[in-house]
Amino acid sequence: MVGAEQDLVAAKHRDMQLAFALLLKFYGRFGRFPRGRAELHNDAVEFVARQLGVDAGSLGFYEWTGRTIERHRAEIRAHHGFRDCTVADAAQLTDWLAGDCAQHERRYELVRDALLGECRAQSIESPTPDRVDRIVRSGLHQAEQALTERIAGQLPAGVRARLLALVQVPDADVDEADPSVLALIKAATGNVSLSSMLTEVSRLEAVRAVGLPVGLFADVAPKVLI
């Protein structure tokens, strides 16, 4: 710990210096605060305690809720130039995911990592795991809706009618001895054989019969289509 960090720690009561220093270093590395003593590795606690010349056991008396730790958190955020994630920040991050990141990537873990990276880039403290999950899922949902509406808006009326016919629920009184076109398209290929090849040809013809415009998905990222 050097410079301004030393001054911040030295200004605290000796019994609080170890906890404050650990919060300070943890925040500087991860962009958030530890959620309790269990997140602080014993070796790190011992190392910082030796640097400060205090007893590592003093950490056991630190209260992880209340006014003291909230005051410490506010001071550490200000030192690092970060702020807490507000409701407005969460809404803006959701919009960013839906309009940017999730238009190119739909894998949850990668979108979550992108969100945490954007938080750091905007000097926003990483939200709690539950809040991160809500933001990511909301962003992915909004991105899916936006893509669906955009694609649907490019379809001619005849194509939309044929697509609706594919998913139309059949009359219960109609004998469905033959599989529907949608069932044919969705069916598993099975082992390679003359029969499976003919099925694939029929499936391709059924898809082509819908008449989707050429280039309909040209501007959609491959990872989103898969």
Residue 57 pLDDT > 50 = yes
What is the structure's pLDDT at 160?
84
pLDDT at 177: 43
Over residues 178-222, the pLDDT tens digits come to 456 666 666 666 677 777 777 778 777 777 777 888 778 777 887
pLDDT digit string, tens, across residues 8-35:
999 999 999 999 999 999 998 888 899 8
What the block records as the tokens of 165 is 């016919």
Least confident of 3-7, 95-99, 192-196, 211-215: 192-196
Mean residue pLDDT of the chain comes to 85
Q: To which H or E segment does residue 2 belong?
A: none
What integer pLDDT is reported at residue 224 of this predicted model? 78
Distance CA 20, CA 37 (A): 12
20 neighbors 9 (Cβ within 8 angstroms): yes
pLDDT of 140-154, one tens digit each?
999 999 888 888 888
Predicted confidence at residue 178, as pLDDT, reads 47
Provide the pLDDT for residue 93: 97
Global confidence as pTM? 0.69
pLDDT at 199: 73
Give the relative orientation of helices 14-30 and 42-52 as an angle to the nearest 10 degrees.
130
- Region 123-146: mean pLDDT is 94
Token pair of 62 as six digits: 């630190």
- Kindly write down the DSSP assignment for every residue of 60-111, as one continuous string: GG--SSSHHHHHHHHHHHHHHT-B---HHHHHHHHHHHHHTGGGT---HHHH
SS3 content of the chain, % helix, strand, coil (to 5): 65, 0, 30
Half-sphere exposure of 216 (CA within 13 A, CB side): 17
Distance from C-alpha of 16 to C-alpha of 62, rounded to nearest angstrom: 7
- Say what the pLDDT of residue 202 is: 76
Q: Residue 123 is encoded by which pair of tokens?
A: 């000097």
